[in-house]
Amino acid sequence: MKRREFIKKSAFSAFAVSTFGFVRFNGKNYIGDCATTSDILGPFYRPDSPVRNNLIIAGESGKAVELSGTVRHQDCITPYKNAKVELWHCDNNGIYDNSSDDFRYRGTTFTNDHGEYSFTTVLPVPYDVGNGMIRPAHFHMMITTEDYQPLVTQLYFTGDKYIESDTWAANATGRVLDIEELSDGTARVYFPVNMAKTLSAEPASIDKLIGEYIHETNPGSSMVFFKNENKLWVKNEVFGTRYEYKGNNTFTYPGTPEGHYRNLYFELLPSGSVKCTLTFTDAETNEQQQIFIKSS
């Protein structure tokens, strides 16, 4: 089956709204091009964290911090009311709570009428991920609204010695934040968010792609795709990693380092099964490719 027939039969439909749709001249300069940059989701995202903005755990060490900010529309001015803001981070030992019912250091809140959000928690710490790599201290955030692409991002902190050697943090434009020390011994971090619109795939099209795919030459290897909040996800040990639709039956993993990519290209085969071609760059930026097949 030809690619154009697959596009038609699988009902892929995308819309694009220019990120410059609200840019205007204020008499001195152009304003409006201010979308907050994204980052990798990371392997430790868990959905359905409790609705709460106080994540302090009694008896646990760590420096208390207030993380706050304002979520705005794409015009960079208008506050976004009732945006869903999820926060998660490691504890003072560099450990994430990936399984307990307590959802330690994980919480969800919603912006008020002025677009404001706030969390009280402790500052995360750097941690060793193996192979001599230490990730700088960071918060994970996901902001979800009805009007814009969900924003997944990470926040880092000024003065962290591990930022320069971290592939993702080194490119964190506007997301290396100052920590304000307060007189009571706590701290404050401010992070404003500006949303933006990007390509989206029809939920019905994603439905056709979900399921288990087996590696073409290694049957012991597989990928499981599922849909969450009308986005395509790949299952992992904790929950999953989210891919964004970029057009032409292709999804991409957001937040990869500069010069790297990780793309999924889907084709409907004459047999009725679906072929997924995973194309990615390795550490040396060499292109690699693997093929996975979903049974009909």
If asked whether residues 158 and 217 sit together in one domain, one would say no
The pLDDT tens digits of the residues spanning 262-277 come to 999 999 888 888 999 9
The pLDDT tens digits of the residues spanning 112-151 come to 999 999 999 999 999 998 878 899 999 999 999 998 888 9
Structural domain harbouring 238: 3-14+202-294
If asked whether residues 25 and 156 sit together in one domain, one would say yes
CATH of the domain at 269: 2.40.128
Tokens describing residue 291: 């093929």
Average confidence (pLDDT) over 213-234: 94
The pLDDT tens digits of the residues spanning 83-97 come to 999 999 999 999 999
CATH of the domain at 46: 2.60.130.10
Q: Which of 173, 194, 215 is the last residue of a domain?
A: 194
If asked whether residues 236 and 181 sit together in one domain, one would say no
CB 214 within 8 A of CB 222: yes
Give the number of other Cβ atoms within 10 Å of residue 56's Cβ. 13
Give the number of other Cβ atoms within 10 Å of residue 207's Cβ. 13
Into how many domains does the chain fold?
Answer: 2
If asked whether residues 105 and 152 sit together in one domain, one would say yes
CA–CA dist 219, 241 (Å, integer): 22
If asked whether residues 184 and 208 sit together in one domain, one would say no
| DSSP character string of 72-83 | E-TTSSSB-TT-
